[in-house]
Chains A and B, each alone.
Chain A
């Protein structure tokens, strides 16, 4: 049996808009991945702890509250602190164009804005799961 790709889909911060996260979770499921969804209002600490216990290949963060510039880099920092910097982190939500380069410099591998085709997101996590 081929090794399963495991992905954590998490919503850091305080907004309750989880439709996007759920749609992505469902798309990754349909692509044959194991998706751990942890629900709303997770702190970066919650997310990193869950990622380590679940031994995921990658984390998808969804944030629509505007706090992404703090929360996304915090997740990457904490992962590195826990010697789990090899876990790939991507982000999505309402992210202004000008924030994207800074997020990428902070270690967010990719940022998916509104309107991103699901197949692009699936392809990204497939690649992340295969260690590419």
Chain B
């Protein structure tokens, strides 16, 4: 019976039914499955296990870059271009959760308003819910759902990223780094982090002018990786300039991934990462369980304060208890 689930998301349908509906192209089932995964409901594991065999078709393209640089607007324009080619498009757009209240305002849909009702488009906004790295924990499981829904391409928009939010590059097939003119000198583009991860670089808002310096600086630091030299594309998303060029570059990269074997390598790397992450999650849940239950935990904390034990040794002891599955004394 319903417990804490609200009616709109409380589903008496079995997970199997939801997945069947998803595979038949039902958007509401897709939306509910994403919620199930996002809320980390007990049924989420079964859902993902059922969905996984039906994934692997979609081209996953990640967009990252500073806030306000035009990621949502670019995606909106690209969605239209892909739609004119008859392709189905999914979008997962991530915005930050408040570290104070746990709430979020998800505003990426505003720029995508004119594509929202198209039957071949599915847009989902997602809050980070405390996950660092520019994505939410559930982002790529949501991508899986949209892949299984039959989307040909899924665009993932990270939160407005700083210099070190690079997680997207470990997940997407193609990573697009979006920048805009007048945001810093040549040293900014030499820094490590976000400016290393792109397969494609976009200089958006070229209508503002002054883009040549940035493009020159970007090109100066770009190097071929895995046999691919990242191109720099000029766009003005609000005017629709450069969008067809960008779509073409994305397709070229996709073809390159397929023919070079890089796709296969990236998929294996991602699978490794995902397995390890899930192990990590399960372990940390166990540890959290211990810390809630345990008088051991409280005792260790006191001992650390009293300088009778150091935090690292205390952690080792707590961890030993977790892995030996013993209840704390």
Contact = CB atoms under 8 A, between A and B. Distances in A.
Is B one of A's binding partners? Answer: yes
A84 interface: yes
B1 to A, nearest CB: 12
B27 to A, nearest CB: 6
B192 interface: no
A1 B40 contact: yes
Contact of A33 (B8, B32, B34, B103): B103
B9 A35 contact: no
B31 A131 contact: no
A82 B104 contact: no
Interface in A71-102: 82-84, 86-88
A76 to B, nearest CB: 14
Interface in B110-141: 110, 113, 116-117, 122-125, 127, 129
Contacts of B39: 1, 3-4
Contacts of B116: 38, 46, 49-50, 53
A87 B35 CA distance: 14
A86 B113 CA distance: 24
B101 to A, nearest CB: 5
A38 B109 contact: yes
B28 interface: yes
B149 to A, nearest CB: 11
How many B residues touch the partner, as a band? 35 or more
A106 interface: no
Nearest to A29: B103
A31 interface: yes
Contact of A37 (B97, B106, B124): B106
Interface of B: 2, 4-10, 27-28, 30-32, 34-35, 38-40, 97-98, 101-107, 109-110, 113, 116-117, 122-125, 127, 129
27 contacts: A2-B4, A4-B38, A6-B35, A25-B105, A26-B105, A29-B101, A29-B104, A34-B106, A35-B105, A35-B106, A36-B107, A36-B125, A37-B107, A38-B110, A38-B116, A46-B116, A52-B31, A53-B27, A53-B30, A53-B31, A54-B125, A55-B9, A55-B32, A55-B34, A56-B8, A57-B7, A88-B8
